[in-house]
Structure formats: C-alpha cells, structure tokens
Amino acid sequence: MTLVLSIEEQREILDMKSVLDALEILYREQAVGRAVTRPRSDIIAPNQTGVYGLKTMDGVVPAFDVGAVRINSDVITWPKVGASKRRVKVPAAPGNRWVGLVLLFSVSNGEPLAIFPDGYVQRMRVGATSGLGAKFLARKDSKVLGLIGSGWQAGAQLLAACEVREIEKVVVYSPTRENLLNFVEDMANQVGVEVMAADSAEAVAAEADLVLCATNSIQPVFDGTLIRSGQHLGCIKNCELDVNAFKRIDRIVVHSQDTGPKHLVMEAAESHGGDRGWDESHGDIDWNGVPTLAQLVAGEAEGRQSSTEVTCFANNLGLGIQFAAVGAKLLQIAREKGAGHELPTEWFTQTVHP
C-alpha cells in the first residue's frame, strides 16, 4: 500500500528532534558518498501575475532504503515589504492554496511508498539544517537566540535552536509588527522559554549569542557591522547577510557548494526578471573552497576553534536527499502511529514497460 499523509497529519506526528536525528545520520552518509543528490532545477515561464516556476529536487539514501522527489508548482512574485524586496509564492491554486508534493520510493524494489504535501517537511528540514549548523558551530554556552523574521520558516529555526542549545531567551525582530507579536506569543507557548519582540535588528544583535535569519527577503536583512565577538550567524539564503557580515565571519560552512538552483528560463519570462533572489557574490567568497555541513557533521571539517570566533552556517541551497531522509522518518512514525490513508500501490504502478 502507498501511504498518503496530509499536512495536518504530518504536524501531529513529526517533531523537530526526529528531523534533527534523521538529518544528522543523512549528512554522515553523504560525507562518505552513501547518499546522492541532484542539484535543484527550476524551469521559469511567464504567466499573468509574475512567473510560473516548476521546481524539482531529488535524492537517494540507501541507508533509509528510500529515494525521494520533491516537486513544486509555483506562481512567484517579488513585492516590496518595508525596505526590502521579497520573493513570494502566491497561493494561486483553487481555494487559495500552494502546490508542492514529495514522492517517496523504495530503493529495494522501486515501489511508491508515500505521497505527501511538502510544506511541513520543507519547513522542518530547513530549521533542522540550521540547527545542526548551530550545534557544530555555535558556542556551547549560547543562551540567547536572536531571530530575524517571524514567518513560517522562522518558527522552525527557533524550535531547532532550542533543541541543540540550552536557550533561555529568544529576541525576535520583523518589520510587520502584528505578525511579530503573534509569532512571539505562539512560539513562547511552544518552547516554554522567554520570547520577546525587538524593535530592530540592531536590538537583536546586541543581545544574541546566535543570530538566525529566516525571511523571504532577496535583499540583506542583517548588517554585518552589528556582529559581536563569538556570535554564530545563520541564514536560509546568502542574500540575507550583507557584504560586511561575510567579511567579518571567521569560519563559514555552507549547505552545498552549488551556489544556486539550475535555472532554465523561457525567453518570455526574462522580461519579468526570471527568478530573482540568488545573489552569489557576497564577500567575494570562493564557495567551492568552503566546507559543507556534511563535512562538518562527519568531522571532515573543523568546527568552532575559540569562544571569540564569529561563525556562520549559510543554508544556501536545499538538497533533495533531505526529503528522502525526513520522508523516511515521517513514514516510519506514521506506520507506528497508524496515521495517514493507504491507497493501493497498483494505482501508481503499471504492467507495461515505462
């Protein structure tokens, strides 16, 4: 049988610790060549409101006996919010909904194991990836988390940081005050530590041992001149940190040495700007020479060397193998708890040679 899991069912059963555990195993497998991923691929075409993006990313992790494909069908726009321009996916599907799916397959016999919307796993794997960066790079005595952003991704960053460090206080800033205050109240109830709204990014930097950026901005949201000795920084796109930040960082680790997705842009979409938001130039860094998270987790790259180092994990590009690893963990838990809806595998297989 092939298991179908809704977003609501995923949220009920998959917690941050489970995702962190799955990804840590994954990166050790990747470091020794036992997990294979393909660079993310985006096809960009014009439409009536911005551009249409068809995105795929995939990977195979034999240790979990799974291969996964993530597919997104997106309508993308670039509104300006406050002082920054953002990359926003519009919920344009019927019922004001977004479209993204993960297909999970068995490495042993090729059968389709599970199908589920990608949004919750997407959020949790991004947060956990940043969390592992903090686990191996942030000071052990880090107590104050600074967070820039108060949206969907920001919550997972907070959850992951609280799992890997004994966080006692969280200071959050985002430009939309109503969203910020709702986020602070919601997350304080979830993590059981003090969560406070800040009036500026400067106020966040002044207090925080870790500063994590989790926004959809395609322009810098953190000024590197604010960095204090010994801080750890994190971003989910390189463009969130400015040139000053990259120049100030003593030790940086990236998720992938690929600097961005592989874009195939239809000529008619160029007039809309293609797909903006992938600035590869920050700090004139040779990204090919920067160690990856897999190397860091596996002990092939050095972590923090002193309490005064400024460290950074740049979660610059997602990997398809993350969806394989987290999808396998989700499937395991779902089977244990009897969650989801089973459909006949015969519906998704065939008796003719493909």
Kindly give the confidence (pLDDT) of every residue in the chain, 354 residues in length, as a single tens digit, with 9 standing for 90 and above.
Answer: 999 999 999 999 999 999 999 999 999 999 999 999 998 999 999 888 779 999 999 999 999 999 999 999 999 988 887 777 888 899 999 999 999 999 999 999 999 999 999 999 999 999 999 999 999 999 999 999 999 999 999 999 999 999 999 999 999 999 999 999 999 999 999 999 999 999 999 999 999 999 999 998 888 999 999 999 999 999 998 889 999 999 999 999 999 988 777 777 776 666 665 566 555 555 567 778 899 999 999 999 999 999 999 999 999 899 999 999 999 999 999 999 999 999 999 999 999 999
Residue 30 lies in a domain: yes
Paired tokens of 196: 């406070």
Paired tokens of 111: 């059968």
Integer angstrom CA distances of residue 332 from 19, 326, 328: 12, 10, 6
pLDDT of residue 207: 96
Q: What is the CATH number of the domain that holds 204?
A: 3.40.50.720
**Whether residue 130 is found in the same domain as residue 234:** yes
**Whether residue 160 is found in the same domain as residue 287:** yes
Q: Which residues contact 254 (CB under 8 A, 6 or more apart)?
A: 287, 290, 291, 292, 293, 313, 314, 316
Q: What is the DSSP string of 82-112?
A: TTEEB-EEE--BTTTB-EEEEEEEETTT--E
Residue 337 lies in a domain: yes
State which residues form the domain around 8: 2-121+319-348
Q: Which amino acid belongs to residue 123? A: R
**Whether residue 250 is found in the same domain as residue 236:** yes
**Whether residue 12 is found in the same domain as residue 62:** yes
Paired tokens of 225: 């001149």
Query: Tokens 């309508």, residue?
Result: 75
**Whether residue 151 is found in the same domain as residue 183:** yes
**Whether residue 135 is found in the same domain as residue 82:** no
Residue 353 lies in a domain: no
Helix, strand, coil percentages (3-state) for the chain, rounded to 5, are 35, 30, 35
- The whole model's pTM is what? 0.94
Rounded Cα gap, residues 220 and 223, in angstroms: 7
Is-contact 27 138, C-beta < 8 A? no
**Whether residue 305 is found in the same domain as residue 161:** yes
Residue 46 lies in a domain: yes
Residue 266 lies in a domain: no
Report the domain count for the chain: 2
**Whether residue 164 is found in the same domain as residue 309:** yes
Q: Which amino acid belongs to residue 267? A: E
Contacts 24+ apart (CB under 8 A), 161-164: 161/130, 161/131, 161/134, 161/210, 161/212, 162/191, 162/193, 163/16, 163/17, 163/20, 163/131, 164/20, 164/131, 164/132, 164/134, 164/135, 164/138
Q: What is the CATH number of the domain that holds 88?
A: 3.30.1780.10
Phi, psi (5° rounding) for residue 306? -160, 165
